[in-house]
Amino acid sequence: MLRITLVKMGYNVIEAREGKEAMKLFKQESPDVVLTDILMPKQDGLETIHALRQRDPDAKIIAMSAGGVYTTDLLKMGRQMGANRVLRKPFPHDELAAMLTELLGKP
């Protein structure tokens, strides 16, 4: 669903199923923004954020989570690990659009 929304907003989307795959794609594609879920198999979003920051300290990262009762803590940890912005799922698409506009510096 998120992919469809982003494409409708005019963005090119590259998808990964988990963090290790995302890191491989990040190295190959150098995306303008990375959206990562915090709860993922193999390599979670917190590990992925940390790895992204080590690879590219200027990477633009949005972390998102719907981790139940732990969502607030997970999002706080995402910020501490280096996410530029965080989103609690579900979120309004206009909130994501505003974050992308701000991070990319586009009107």
CA–chain centroid gap for 22, Å, is 10
User: pLDDT tens-digit profile of 84-101?
Assistant: 999 999 999 999 999 999
What strands, in cross-sheet order, belong to the sheet with 34-37?
34-37, 61-65, 85-88
Structurally, at CATH architecture level, domain 2-99 sits in: 3-Layer(aba) Sandwich (3.40)
Q: Degrees (nearest 5) of the Cα angle 78, 80, 82?
A: 75
User: pLDDT tens-digit profile of 21-47?
Assistant: 999 999 999 999 999 999 998 899 999
Residue type, 78: G
Whole-model pTM over 0.85: yes
